[in-house]
Structure 1
Amino acid sequence: MKKLKGMKSNFSSLENKKLNDLKSITGGLMASTAINYVSTNNGDCYDKETWVDHKLSSTLEIC
């Protein structure tokens, strides 16, 4: 592994435990995902909507 300039040569496990704000680290938290089921065709079918980070990712019609 390459040594980065300006970085400490090694981090102790104690220092790693001090990382409380994971949002400040890119990739520290997984994207939030929500699935909604919306009834269609008078209840005969429904749409399964998948939302990732408050944006519609996909819709699947199930009959």
Structure 2
Amino acid sequence: MHYFRAERVPTVYLFTGREGGLGRFVLCSERCNISELHKESVLRMPTEISQKMESCGWVALG
């Protein structure tokens, strides 16, 4: 279990790679009306979690 503070509820996790045996995940909230993701927090968690996530072929970052 992980506790963290966020302005908005994260609904998207981006797996951004591995570091020191743990995966790095960027937790984002969505603003669907303007098609934006906003970073809420960054967590390091076991990489097995990334194997259970649904992958997406691309993501646009601005």
TM-score by length of 1: 0.34
Per residue, is there more strand in 1 or in 2? 2
Structure number with larger C-alpha Rg? 1
TM-score by length of 2: 0.34
Per residue, is there more helix in 1 or in 2? 1
Structure with more contact order per residue of length (Cα contacts < 8 Å, sep ≥ 6): 2
